[in-house]
Structure 1
Amino acid sequence: MLSCKQDTPVEQKVYKGTSQQAILDNILTRRSIRKYTDQQVTQAQIDTIMKCAIFAPSALNKQPWEVRVVQNKQILKEINDRFLNFAQGKEFQGSAAHYREPGFSIFHNSPTLIVIARDKNSGTSSLDSGIILQNILLSSHAIGLGTCPIGSLVPILNLPENQDILKLLNIPEGYEVSINISLGYAAETPTAPKRIPERVKIIH
């Protein structure tokens, strides 16, 4: 059994100056993008984002997620059609409320859709999915791409009648979709919505 003294120390890297500011700026300037160009993201960009994604922390390092990067146009159309079929006659909030408009896309016509599924048998997988989500959002922004989390698609993909979509995406049994992300080149520059600093309290 190794003692603590025998363990190789891990160097803690601290960013200073321009590197530190770049990290902080990346967090503060990321916005949800709901308009995209037709330009597809590259495999190299996907590789960078997914490397950052799987380095997200998770409880006991269980990594209770499955991630699918969907660029197949037929599958994307089918997913959008499934949402539209479900939406008929219903009311939604946010961008999903515009589903009756011509050319509507639940993932904002982004050329890539990322689907994150969670292990239903893990009590921490919902939280862990949120952490990997943030890694994807921030790493995408860092390399000049836009993203938007899409929650309104989650319950639709988890419906029993849409399990064929999950099988098509090779999502294992015992997993369900926890969040989706549109990904592509931004065709808009939205301003930051108002934040509520009063919800942060410092207890001395």
Structure 2
Amino acid sequence: MKYIIALITVVFFLFGCQEKEIKQVVYEGTAKQAILDNMLSRRAIRQYTAQQVSREQLDTIMKSAIFAPSGLNKQPWEIRVLQNPDILKEVNQRFLNFAKGKEFQGSAARYREAGFSIFHDAPTLIVIATDKSNPGAKLDAGIALQNILLSAHAIGLGTCPLGTLVGTMNLPENADILKLLNIPEGYEVTINVALGYPAETPDAPIRYTEKVKIIE
């Protein structure tokens, strides 16, 4: 498996006085190995540049999403792609309103910090809602989610699934947001995804191989 390491952009942001170089691996090899490598090299991205995702890129990602398999081909999802700055700001504010006085794990624990963004200042937010009457809908949405993550990574973009935002989106007092997004009655938000150009190259966290058992 051969790689060409190509410096595609250098993004400057403050970590004390350090400058961080952002690199991307450009793959050269067989299509089969490229697919496997894409799955193994994808990471959750929590720092993004301000560059917006193009419509062409979104079309590629959304086509990958809706081609995900689903039980009986019900496709029990509704997907919304948000790039409007005012709507993104409002969604973030709704989370901040919900978060007051609460404690969270992970990056959401920093919500009290000035300028905090629950979607990591990504320029695009994907909202996936599912049919509440379909018992397999959340599983189907998970498969579509993985197609989104992998297709985005394949075209040089970064993503981060956002579970913490789900509860906020489904609150009765935020029903106006779902109405604004034209999410049908009987659907609920299942997962959200931050999407944009990565401004970091995180290492892979530990994987627990002992959780896999082969029974022969």
TM-score (norm 2): 0.86
**1:8 paired residue number:** none
Post-superposition offset of 1:131: 0.4
- The alignment status of 1:42 with 2:54, answered yes or no, reads yes
> Per-residue CA shift, 1:159-187, capped at 9, x if unaligned?
00000000000000000000000000000
Determine which of 162, 185, 189 is the counterpart of 1:177: 189
Aligned residue number for residue 21 of structure 1:
33
Q: Deviations over 1:131-160 (max 9, x none)?
A: 000000000000000000000000110000
Match of 2:205 in 1: 193
**1-structure distance, mates of 2:89, 2:48:** 16
Give the structure with higher Rg (CA): 1
- Which of 101, 112, 117 is the matching residue for 2:124? 112
Letter in 1 for 2:162: I
Counterpart CA distance in 2 for 1:103 and 1:140 is 26
- Say whether 1:143 aligns with 2:123: no
| Structure 1 stretches of 4+ moved >2 Å | none
- 1:82 pairs with one of 84, 94, 111: 94
State the partner residue of 1:6: none
Looking at structure 2, the residues matched to 41 and 65 of structure 1 have their Cα atoms a distance apart, in angstroms, of 22
User: Which residue is equivalent to 2:138?
Assistant: 126
Partner of 1:98: 110
Structure richer in strand, relative to its length: 2
- The reply on whether 1:165 has 2:177 as its aligned counterpart is yes
Displacement after TM superposition at 1:79 (Å) = 0.2
| Secondary structure of the structure 1 residue equivalent to 2:81 | strand
**Cα distance, 1:102 vs structure 2:** 1.1
What CA distance in whole angstroms lies between the structure 2 residues aligned with 1:71 and 1:35?
17
Match of 1:156 in 2: 168
Sequence identity percentage: 73
Residue type at the aligned position of 1:197 = T
What does residue 64 of structure 2 align with?
A: 52
Could you state the TM-score of these two structures normalised by the residue count of structure 1?
A: 0.92
Count of aligned positions: 188
State the distance in 2 between where 1:140 and 1:197 align: 26
Three-state SS of the structure 2 residue aligned to 1:128 is helix
Q: Higher relative CO (CA 8 A, sep ≥ 6), structure 1 or 2?
A: 1
Unaligned runs of 5+ in 2: 1-28
Q: In angstroms, what is the RMSD of aligned CA positions?
A: 0.6
